Structure 1
Amino acid sequence: MTVGAFDLVSIGDRLSFAGALDQVSAALDTSAAVVVSAPPGTGKTTLVPPLLANRSRGRVIVTQPRRVAARAAARRLAQLDGTSLGDRVGFTVRGERAVSAQTRIEFVTAGVLLRRMLDDPGLDGVDAVVIDEVHERALETDLLIGLLSEVRELRDDLVLVTMSATLDAERIATVIGPTDRPAPIVEHDVPAFPLTERWAPSPVPRLDDRGVTWAFLDHVARVTASAALDLTRLDPTADVLVFAPGAREVSEIARRVRDAAGGFDVRELHGQIPAAEQDAVIRGRRPDDPARIIVTTSLAESSLTVPGVRLVVDSCLARRPQRDAARGMTGLVTSAAPRSSCVQRAGRATRQAPGSVIRCVDERTYAAAPARPAPEIATADLADAALLLACWGAPGGTGLRMLDPLPADALADALGVLRGLGAIDDDGRATDAGRALARIPTEPRLARALRDGSPLVGARLAAEVVALLGGDLRIADADVAQALVALRGGRPKDARRWRSDADRLERMIPPAPGGRSDLDGTGLVIALAFPERIARRVEHTAAGATFQLASGTRAGVTGSLASVEWLAVADVARASGRAAAGSGAVIRSAAALTQEQMERAASHLITDRIEAEFTGGRVQARRERRVGAILLSSAPVKASTEDGRDAVRRAIRRDGLSMFGWSDTADALRRRLALLHHELGAPWPDVSDTGLLAALDAWLAPELDTLAAGTPAGRLDLSSALRRLLPWPEAVRFDDLAPERLEVPTGSRIRIDYAPADDPAARPVVAVKLQECFGWAETPRLVDGRVPVLFHLLSPAGRPLAVTDDLASFWSGPYAQVRAEMRGRYPKHPWPEDPWAATPTRHTTRRARD
């Protein structure tokens, strides 16, 4: 060990991964990229970074998916190293930093490293990067793998190690390794302590249209309290870890457990509590302290070690980001936790000794849950990721080696948002404004609100609103302004962190003259971030109000916000029931907005134009002023000729040609043209619905003007319009190729019944009395002999006797049978034994003789 090196023997005492360090070293001797797979709690996060530091001169960066994990890992390693935090081992997370010039190992969140790379793409002074907890497939972790793979093409000395408890090692090794071979994989397995599984299915539903039910939280709390009492009777040193889907459920379960089980130290662990409280939970308890019941989110699934846990109670629920493409919104959705996550949770009970897990579902429900979580890249809003990639010079991730590509639809939506912010150009490259937004540690829309809102409402209020919305804090009754009042008064326990975030954001923008800092500007800041979510009330009932968003979505809200006319909405999600006010979506955070503020924030969405519609057979026009889908004003006006024509076109394309009354003449003409197009093709026109709609202006232009001027559709003569489609000079033969009538041997001119335009392959038909065709041997053919006429030979009463397209064969064969059956029924009409010699007639036998 060199001077100043980390003492791996001392640090690794009683950590099983110490036995795998030689394998890691051997892999690093042959490759600058290594994949490490080992169960949680084995010590890989503690031992791999100092191993890398001992092999290099520069700094080692270690990423964690969460701030609490980065702080905890740094504090643990510094403690084992016997040095102060911020000396040889430090950390940097959003709003907090403990690093010095002597720091060799720095723990950071993935987001911190991503933004650092925008200023320092070559990572000057960094010799190694460790990406921990890869199996969680966080979006920022996936992006890091792509960016670092490109950095390593220019810096072959940069070491990259990916680590996880459970991961698709072969796939990741292929991505981070050189192009000709995968990176080596180091796998470390340890015998697991026995795990006892128990099932405590809930007698009530876990979820309803408002989220997790209160009754299910009651059930989880009762199961926890009862099991904790039983456990501590057997082992007073044992602690209990309870998994809930989100911070709200954590607080509710913790409150219920405190009421139900006295004598326990009930703690909460999630990202919204102060850092000191998080750290206190992770440090464990002294032997004389009471047993602990720790209620947590997925935070403690794998990235944190909570000592002393012997029992896990699992709600088997998880909350993950989910993009709703139809409504253009992304929010957190609660659903069944993937089984792989449940396995990770249960493993927390067997870190140091045999343990138990109680799952608050039945075995069938558990088996029906997804096997693994979907990668966040497949479900999340991609605006922040797309901006970062644009600043990196790889729009959309082009050219990067990533585990999964960015989904095309979500990427297109994100690029649309960034163009609207002026953050990227038409080629997808970052603009100067985009680069400035990317350096503000919040998503691009909030960064824009901070930048543009400060001169209007004051830098402090803008920073406070953005810190609240970007901090994932709970907002009672969806009212952002009232949440700010509570935070300013220091009442919520997370007010200190919010104030720190606001201070930091305020320092990131230049001071702006003027502006107001009272709460009246809250809605304007939100509207600058989400102009497409500006909303106007359209319905108000005792149950709440329904608002129309500029994006077209309708959403419900209850409480005091239901009484205002305009809202700036920050968060809206799918829902049903009373909370959604019958709209299918619910507003989760918003603030009141004046119309003047609306017009300032959404000026680019405001339109003022004449909208003409063809309804009830007439053109009706109104001048409409809108902000997106929201109608601001509407007044009747006279439509211009062009507006009227466009309205008629839209109506025809919407309702089809059936809106016209087709006369027999027009229908017959269309049928004849359809036959010629089917048999001869061009230049004879396609007169199917599709063909006529595509060529609307070529044949119906004068009629469009007539309709636009007010003539009802039923009065139009479409036969003259169709004749405009006749091709010249071929049209001179139209009546020869497809005649309207056919002359039979008696001299009668019988109308030809052509097939419908949508079935031009069917045969043209002539229905004529049998006696008028005596002696006719040659069946007529149309379209230059291509199409034989199908004859319906009729009785004197006009009923079909035979159908044939071969008259000669009919006279020589089937006619005899027809004659035998008909001459007795119609004795006054001729039924000659020899039809070839008979004279065609339209009359009875007597009239024919006369």
Structure 2
Amino acid sequence: MKSKIALPVDTLLPRILKALDATEGRSANLVLEAAPGAGKTTRVPPALLDAVPGEVLVLEPRRIAARLAARRVAAELGEHPGETVGYQVRFEEVAGPRTRLRFLTEGVLTRRLLSDPDLRGVDAVVLDEFHERHLDSDLALALLRRLQQRRPSLRLLVMSATLDSAPVARFLGNCSVLRSEGRLFPLTVTNQPYSPAPLESQVAQAVEMLLREGHTGDMLVFLPGAAEIRRAMRTCEELVRRAELLMLPLHGSLTPEEQDRAVAPSTRRKLILATNVAESSITIDGVSAVIDSGLARIATWSPWTGLPTLEIARISKASATQRAGRAGRTGPGRVIRLYPAEDFQLRPDHDTPEILRGDLSQLCLALRAMNIDHPEQLAWLDPPPEAAVRSAESLLDRLGAHGEAAQQLVRMPLPPRLARVVLSAKERGVGEDACLVAALLASGTPSPHPDLLHALDSMRRGTDPALRQHVEQLRRTVRPSRQSAPNDDALLQAILTGFPDRVARRRTSGKTATGAGNQVLLSSGGSAELTGEPGDGEFLVAVDAEDRKDKPLPLIRISARIEPEWLLDLFPERIEERIDLMWNPRAERVEAVSRLVYEELVLQESRHVHPDPQRTAELLAARALDAGMERFVDPEALAQLMARAEFAGVTAPDLAQPLRELCHGLASFAELRAEATHLLPLLERTLAGGRLSDLAPTSLRLPSGRQTRVHYESGKPPWIASRLQDFFGMRETPRIGPARAPVVVHLLAPNHRPVQMTTDLAGFWERLYPQVRRELMRRYPRHSWPEKP
């Protein structure tokens, strides 16, 4: 047995066991706050073996933590993993018939509860590093608390270094809270001022600073993701070579062997570049300096597009404290934070739990498989948001995740979409290729090509050890039939079954204004951007898409072509035929556009004259009004009608209704022009109850028997004009309209030029006519000019 070094939590073990004593039928829960280096992960779980007769499960947030913790505890017991102590993570289980202490990832517990809802033989469950608040950890806590109602003797222990313990203790029935000091050596923390330099350059400068200071231990660098790690490794190559350091990456996409190499002891000083997988759970021996970027890649969910988002965000104070603690586990440590102290003070105390910001489809699928219809049936530490639940339930419905199908999907070590793809592909005889695709998409490994089929060809020839291992593990689980040859269409149809809400169609305009890719229309509405050089095909599925805040449109990193006929075959209930009226501005006519639509995406479109006369008439009339009625009727005649209505004191005529009546049976401006001669008479019949001709006549009969036109202008009295002789015998001025207003009489000479305008004919004959008569007699002697006309 390996000799144990005394750790701070050792003195607390008797109190822990007493708090978890479940005798007399009462439930016994505990929250343990233990500072970094206290030894909670390796000392508390094995101590429970003496307190319970059955098995102890320890939930770890990450696979590497579960493996390392199991190995460390087994070594302290003088055993190998798989004897008293074992572990179980996705695709890997090391355990035997004597195993009583099992370290496992949270998702493994969910699948165990599916096959064994009562956790028979398990007497205690420890939730380690609970402050990380992964989705699976919140689900595990809710399910375990539910199980505890049936099994009060089940012990639950929640452990963390930086947990806000009060809400958790209340959730666990106001249980006890114990605190242990850590074994943390003094830390020297330096905050760097803001720098505009690339992150990888800042890392190299910090490494160089530690080397100048004469630092002799291993260095651990925290970066947001694998891409940032790769860039930093390239930048630090020369520096590492000069200092004779061993530079190693550490992130979730690596094989277990590669992860173990990063944390195992080495004869050479190491520079470990890690994501937050190295933030908690286990001590990495030899690390005495930490360089913290202060950043992490955070997965969230966009309620607007339904797409996942993966953004680089600032970590909380609690996470920064955890990272710094990595440097002080085995001796005095040095910490360089690549951000100012003021920045640290402005950060939140804790990270937002994943259940409040992430996609909940996996959680809801697990509940369905357990015959829990809705998350509301469980008590939660933080209830999941209703909008995210609705979105997840909608997706699961589309994946057909009901009853036995839900249980089949949840047993797959994959997200729901990819589980559906693999099962559908297996039925189509292309399960082996589907395992390749699922491994690529689930692992987060960069795709060799933005077109999925091209990427698949590269993967068939590829040698990426992590991806290859993932594929083989997945094939052992799925057990697909052997493929004699590729069948691209069968595989693509299977992929479509897992992404029915991610269907897209290329815009006909092709390249975007930036030339950076192609824009596509999404079946959910809106647009997205294809990155790289995607394959051919008008219709596609966005199998790897992300809604990023730093981009105007969601990005599609990997796509797969599909045929629109497949949508008809697979999702006939989602296909709808819509007939919409459209205005063709070039032909100036109403046309019907018949569309075959998948959600908001047009699959097929044809144009023809619309058979609905009423709707056609309404649209044609509206476009005619927009164009201006002067295009269809005499503008002067229209103005006259408007002025007559104004003079008659009636409401200004509404052109729309009579125009719609006239447009009935018509579809174009050309047809309307031919029929427009009927518009003004039709409009006139609608005014003043058909009495407009009486109130505002268009002509008057003069004593000579001649009809003269009455002219109307807006804001002016009406007027008539004719030769003076035509008014002989008319003593009084004609009056018209409701108020019997006199018209303005334009008296014209024989050459049709006005000699007088008046509204008082009687006064004209008496006062002015004699003088006008003498002048006209002189100019037009052949005409008769009586003294008393």
- TMscore range, shorter length: 0.7 to 0.9
- Work out which of the residue numbers 169, 174, 177 in structure 2 matches 1:173: 169
Paired amino acid for 2:363: A
Change (3 A) 1:520 1:491: farther
> What secondary structure sits across from 1:446 in the alignment?
helix
Partner of 1:50: 46
Shift of 1:606: 3.2
> What secondary structure sits across from 1:242 in the alignment?
strand
Shift of 1:646: 13
TM-score by length of 2: 0.74
- Answering whether residue 253 of structure 2 is matched by residue 272 of structure 1, we say yes
- 1:305-363 per-position Cα deviation (integer Å, ceiling 9, x unaligned): 21221111111111111111111101321122223211211111112222121111233
State how far apart, in whole Å, the 2-side matches of 1:93 and 1:146 are.
21
State how far apart, in whole Å, the 2-side matches of 1:113 and 1:148 are.
10
Partner of 2:450: 478
- Answering whether residue 602 of structure 2 is matched by residue 631 of structure 1, we say yes
Query: Is this contact kept in 2: 1:557–1:586, CA < 8 A?
Result: yes
Partner of 1:540: 510
Change (3 A) 1:391 1:535: same
The number of residues matched between the two structures is 643
Partner of 1:585: 554
Change (3 A) 1:458 1:353: same
- 1:221-247 per-position Cα deviation (integer Å, ceiling 9, x unaligned): 2322x034235x35x3x1100000011
Shift of 1:484: 3.4
Paired amino acid for 1:435: Q
Shift of 1:390: 2.2
Tell me how large the CA RMSD over aligned residues is. 3.7
- Answering whether residue 162 of structure 2 is matched by residue 218 of structure 1, we say no
- Work out which of the residue numbers 172, 177, 184 in structure 2 matches 1:185: 177
Query: Is this contact kept in 1: 2:424–2:497, CA < 8 A?
Result: yes
State how far apart, in whole Å, the 1-side matches of 2:685 and 2:70 are.
85
- Work out which of the residue numbers 217, 229, 233 in structure 1 matches 2:211: 229
Partner of 2:689: none
Change (3 A) 1:621 1:527: same
Query: Is this contact kept in 1: 2:56–2:124, CA < 8 A?
Result: yes
Paired amino acid for 2:314: A
Query: Is this contact kept in 2: 1:193–1:354, CA < 8 A?
Result: yes
Paired amino acid for 1:379: R
Paired amino acid for 1:80: E
- Work out which of the residue numbers 499, 507, 512 in structure 1 matches 2:471: 499
Shift of 1:601: 5.1
Partner of 1:560: 533
* Structure 2 unpaired stretches of 5+: 627-641, 687-789
Partner of 2:153: 157
Partner of 2:361: 383
State how far apart, in whole Å, the 1-side matches of 2:349 and 2:89 are.
32
Change (3 A) 1:623 1:21: same
Partner of 2:60: 64
Query: Is this contact kept in 2: 1:645–1:704, CA < 8 A?
Result: no
- Work out which of the residue numbers 533, 546, 552 in structure 2 matches 1:573: 546
Shift of 1:702: 12
- Answering whether residue 5 of structure 2 is matched by residue 27 of structure 1, we say no
Shift of 1:34: 1.1
Partner of 2:436: 464
Change (3 A) 1:639 1:50: same
> What secondary structure sits across from 1:266 in the alignment?
strand
Partner of 1:246: 225
Query: Is this contact kept in 2: 1:445–1:529, CA < 8 A?
Result: yes
Change (3 A) 1:718 1:358: farther
- 1:489-531 per-position Cα deviation (integer Å, ceiling 9, x unaligned): 3432423322233323432x6x49x895355655434322112
Query: Is this contact kept in 2: 1:478–1:588, CA < 8 A?
Result: yes
Shift of 1:63: 0.8
Paired amino acid for 1:607: E
Change (3 A) 1:632 1:459: same
> What secondary structure sits across from 1:87 in the alignment?
coil
- Work out which of the residue numbers 296, 311, 316 in structure 1 matches 2:289: 311
> What secondary structure sits across from 2:534 in the alignment?
helix
Shift of 1:457: 5.2
Query: Is this contact kept in 1: 2:8–2:181, CA < 8 A?
Result: no
State how far apart, in whole Å, the 2-side matches of 1:626 and 1:359 are.
53
TM-score by length of 1: 0.69
State how far apart, in whole Å, the 1-side matches of 2:199 and 2:664 are.
62
- Answering whether residue 382 of structure 2 is matched by residue 404 of structure 1, we say yes
* Structure 1 unpaired stretches of 5+: 1-6, 206-214, 425-430, 656-662, 671-699, 722-850
- 1:687-739 per-position Cα deviation (integer Å, ceiling 9, x unaligned): xxxxxxxxxxxxx9999999886699998999999xxxxxxxxxxxxxxxxxx
State how far apart, in whole Å, the 2-side matches of 1:141 and 1:329 are.
23
Change (3 A) 1:307 1:112: same
Change (3 A) 1:191 1:78: closer
State how far apart, in whole Å, the 2-side matches of 1:151 and 1:718 are.
79
- Answering whether residue 425 of structure 2 is matched by residue 453 of structure 1, we say yes
- Work out which of the residue numbers 198, 201, 205 in structure 1 matches 2:190: 198
Give me the identity figure in percent: 33
Query: Is this contact kept in 1: 2:617–2:665, CA < 8 A?
Result: no
State how far apart, in whole Å, the 2-side matches of 1:646 and 1:292 are.
80
Paired amino acid for 1:195: L
Matches within 5 A, 1:606-755: 606-612=575-581, 620-641=591-612, 644=615
State how far apart, in whole Å, the 2-side matches of 1:240 and 1:499 are.
33
Query: Is this contact kept in 2: 1:142–1:403, CA < 8 A?
Result: yes
Shift of 1:400: 1.6
Shift of 1:478: 3.1
Query: Is this contact kept in 2: 1:129–1:159, CA < 8 A?
Result: yes
Partner of 1:550: 523
Query: Is this contact kept in 2: 1:202–1:219, CA < 8 A?
Result: no
Shift of 1:555: 1.8
> What secondary structure sits across from 1:174 in the alignment?
helix
> What secondary structure sits across from 1:54 in the alignment?
coil
Shift of 1:296: 0.2
- 1:88-142 per-position Cα deviation (integer Å, ceiling 9, x unaligned): 1111111111111110111111101101101111001111111111100100100
Query: Is this contact kept in 1: 2:658–2:683, CA < 8 A?
Result: no
- Work out which of the residue numbers 272, 284, 287 in structure 1 matches 2:265: 284
